[in-house]
Amino acid sequence: MSYAELSREELEALKAALEAEYAEHCAKGLALNMARGKPGADQLALSLPMLDCVNATTELFAEDGTDCRNYGVMDGIPEAKRLMASIMDHDAERVCVFGNSSLNIMYDLVSHGMLYGYLGAPAWKTLPEIAWICPSPGYDRHFAICEQLGIRMIPVRMTETGPDMDEVERIAASDASVKGIWCVPQYSNPTGAVYSDEVVRRLASMECAAEDFRIFWDNAYCVHHLYEGREAHVADIAAACEASGHPDRYFKFASTSKVTFPGAGIAAVAASAANIAEIKSRVGVQTVGYDKLNQLRHVKFLGDANGMAEHMKKHAAIIAPKFDMVLDMLEAGLEGVGATWSKPDGGYFISFEGLPGTAKRTVALAKEAGVTMTGAGATWPYKNDPRDTNIRIAPTLPPMNELEQAMEVFVCCVKLASVEALLAE
Ligand code: PMP
């Protein structure tokens, strides 16, 4: 049965049945939250032993003799650089390990462009307008940085292999006010897409009207695989940029927020030697140095790339069943509705595409029934989803039984909003 083929009478009858089911959900007094991509409590427990790796009885010196309790080494202790470099496909000398948040580093680097400019180019604040390419749906906090700093956002549609590159190339080549692009190249937030080699190559080699154009390569989910044997590994943007004669075009980012503890992990930026030198000179004014005890703690706990991969398998064992359950419930519950959704191999989200004009209504219905989802529209610049279709589903935080309840409500809300939209046509 396809909703689109139902008669008005059939739709009216379906609506009445769905309203009755919805009222039952509302009567349960649920308070469930699927709004943010947070690890569940059982995932956080995986990293509890890390808290014992650095304490009053353990070694508190880095391998180069740095006393991690004291000031010094603004750009990260060598072993932490090596650890982050190993998951960022970079050499450790051109990696800085900073504080607890990669988003914070991204914010700082966009701010540096605004205030000072990159590698001798004019500060953006001296220019009439700055614009940014925003593959959408995308990560709301990237868009919030642009919005706060007054950068005009240009949405470009995401495809299954990355942003629509014809559009990206056209925009980057034609407008010197376009200074950058947000990219979550592996298990993208929220679509789960992995950029193809072709997309990586085109981003690196495309003509840019702005000489100081930067690819913000936020590889937040570089080690966050869900299924053994289906691990993605996006092509290295640094190598691609170097090969096409644009060695300074990218900044890579990663963190251990969803490896160990969100808010208490370590975050890093990797870039060309020239960019790293400039970043260090600027960040060195912002801080005397970051939390080296936490860097040491992470190295002792995770070890190296292999240790990290083993640890990530434990996360996958907890969250893959949650993704599977959500996908099964969408599949079973939404037959014929005409909605679609992503089936990611990693990352933290399932991206849901409802019928045109139904996302806001669906999220509002769910909220009313006690299930908080990410706000509809949040995945687009200015919270403006032009077709009002996209909803980001974040399955990791609720325990399985709560997730199941929340998805029952969600499925009911999608159906009700869809029937309402069809009746309103
Ligand atoms: N980038 C992306 C794509 C994210 O989804 C998130 C949220 N986990 C972040 C960055 C934030 O990372 P951090 O905690 O390192 O600031």
Q: Is 222 in the pocket of ligand 1 (CB under 6 A)?
A: no
Residue 414's CATH number: 3.90.1150.10
Q: Is 165 in the pocket of ligand 1 (CB under 6 A)?
A: no
Q: Pick from 36, 141, 223, 269 the residue to mutate for probing ligand 1's pocket: most ligand atoms within 8 Å of its CB.
A: 141
User: For the range 3-10, what are the long-range contacts, defined as Cβ-Cβ under 8 Å and sequence gap of 24 or more?
Assistant: 3/336, 3/337, 3/338, 3/418, 3/419, 3/422, 4/338, 4/422, 6/422, 8/423
Are residues 298 and 351 both part of a single domain?
A: no
Residue 224's CATH number: 3.40.640.10
Q: Is 259 in the pocket of ligand 1 (CB under 6 A)?
A: no
Relative to the CA of 104, which ligand 1 atom is closest? 16
Question: Rounded CA gap, 158 and 379, in Å?
Answer: 11
Beta-strand relationship, 250-255 and 267-270: antiparallel
For the chain, the distance separating the N- and C-terminal CA atoms, rounded to the nearest angstrom, is 19
Q: What is the pLDDT of residue 36?
A: 86
Are residues 254 and 332 both part of a single domain?
A: no
Are residues 76 and 13 both part of a single domain?
A: no
Are residues 112 and 167 both part of a single domain?
A: yes
Are residues 112 and 40 both part of a single domain?
A: no
Q: What is the pLDDT of residue 41?
A: 97
Give pTM, 2 decimals. 0.97
Are residues 372 and 266 both part of a single domain?
A: no
Q: Is 101 in the pocket of ligand 1 (CB under 6 A)?
A: yes
The number of beta carbons lying within 10 Å of the beta carbon of residue 131 is 18
Q: What is the pLDDT of residue 150?
A: 98
* Length of the chain, in residues: 425
Is residue 195 within 8 Å of residue 162, measured between CB atoms?
yes
Range of the domain at 26: 3-44+309-424
Q: Is 272 in the pocket of ligand 1 (CB under 6 A)?
A: no
- For residue 104, report the distance from its CA to the centre of ligand 1, in Å: 9
Are residues 261 and 355 both part of a single domain?
A: no
* Among candidate residues 271, 304, 337, the one where a domain is terminated: 304
* Among candidate residues 276, 304, 332, the one where a domain is terminated: 304
Ligand 1 atom 4 nearest Cα: 220
Q: Pick from 84, 97, 102 the residue to mutate for probing ligand 1's pocket: most ligand atoms within 8 Å of its CB.
A: 102
Q: Is 257 in the pocket of ligand 1 (CB under 6 A)?
A: yes
For the residues of 242-306, what is the DSSP string, one character each?
HHTT-TTSEEEEEESTTTS-TTSS-EEEE--HHHHHHHHHHHHHH-S---HHHHHHHHHHH-SHH
Q: Pick from 44, 255, 350 the residue to mutate for probing ligand 1's pocket: most ligand atoms within 8 Å of its CB.
A: 255
| ipTM over cut 0.95 | yes
Q: Residue 342 is encoded by which pair of tokens? A: 């992503």
Are residues 29 and 119 both part of a single domain?
A: no
Is residue 202 within 8 Å of residue 169, measured between CB atoms?
yes
- Tally of domains within the chain: 2
Q: Is 289 in the pocket of ligand 1 (CB under 6 A)?
A: no
Are residues 145 and 246 both part of a single domain?
A: yes
Q: Is 139 in the pocket of ligand 1 (CB under 6 A)?
A: yes
- List the strands of the sheet with 131-136, edge to edge: 95-97, 267-270, 250-255, 214-218, 178-183, 131-136, 152-159, 162-163
Ligand 1 atom 1 nearest Cα: 220
Mean pLDDT per 10-residue run, the chain (425 residues)? 94 98 96 93 98 95 98 97 98 98 98 98 98 98 98 98 98 98 98 98 98 98 98 98 98 98 98 98 97 98 97 98 98 97 98 98 98 96 98 96 97 98 95
Q: Is 255 in the pocket of ligand 1 (CB under 6 A)?
A: yes
Q: Pick from 100, 107, 139 the residue to mutate for probing ligand 1's pocket: most ligand atoms within 8 Å of its CB.
A: 139
* Among candidate residues 269, 304, 339, the one where a domain is terminated: 304
Are residues 298 and 371 both part of a single domain?
A: no
- Residue with token string 């932490």: 80
Are residues 144 and 190 both part of a single domain?
A: yes
Q: Residue 364 is encoded by which pair of tokens? A: 């509002």
Question: Rounded CA gap, 55 and 294, in Å?
Answer: 11
Q: Residue 187 is encoded by which pair of tokens? A: 């298990």
Are residues 116 and 140 both part of a single domain?
A: yes
**Amino acid code (one letter) for 1:** M
Q: Is 220 in the pocket of ligand 1 (CB under 6 A)?
A: yes
Relative to the CA of 254, which ligand 1 atom is closest? 15
